[in-house]
Amino acid sequence: MSVILTQAKDKKFQEERKARLKQLKEINAPEAIIRTEEMISKMTLEEYKLYCQKLEEEDRKLRSDYAKNNPIQKSIVDEIYRRESKLEYDYFAYTSYVHMMMAIDPLSFMSKDDYENDLYDAFLQHAEELYRDRFKEQFGAEGK
């Protein structure tokens, strides 16, 4: 029974990925994306999960190596918290991490590589928590 269920899930997964591949070809997506989707569309669901795990492990290793070679700078950490402390209440910044990052604007004071490798991600997330704590009453009042 479980083999039949697994086969049905695999078939559904492959059909969905082939439909996605067709859409990518129709919109003339970049060749690299199409090749990746072609590869994925031939996988079983379990193979795809293992592939995703492998990619995540590689990504973690790259970020770890980056962090080892690029020490955290106190001046950047201080700037994150300085900017958070100056923010006024904004509904969108309160409810959306993307809007919060737009408000703090980390790329104006840290390198793109630092940002993309999440070197200061823990500090940015903590700044968001501080911001939310600071304005939780105001947000609650606005929602009523």
Q: Residue 127 contacts by C-beta under 8 Å, 6 or more apart in sequence?
A: 80, 81, 83, 84, 100, 104
At how many degrees (to 10) do helices 97-104 and 121-142 cross? 110
DSSP code of residue 43: S
pLDDT mean across residues, the chain: 93
What does the pLDDT look like over 5-25, one tens digit per residue? 888 898 999 999 999 999 999
CA dihedral 84, 77, 133, 143 (to 10 degrees): 50
- Asked if residue 144 has pLDDT above 70, the reply is no
What does the pLDDT look like over 96-114, one tens digit per residue? 999 999 999 999 999 999 9
What 3 state SS string does 93-116 have?
Answer: HHHCHHHHHHHHCHHHCCCHHHHH
pTM above 0.85, yes or no: no
Query: Among residues 99, 109, 98, which one has the least CA distance to residue 74?
Result: 109
- Asked if residue 143 has pLDDT above 70, the reply is no
What does the pLDDT look like over 125-142, one tens digit per residue? 999 999 999 998 888 766
Q: Residue 40 contacts by C-beta under 8 Å, 6 or more apart in sequence?
A: 17, 48, 51
Q: What is the mean pLDDT of residues 27-45?
A: 95
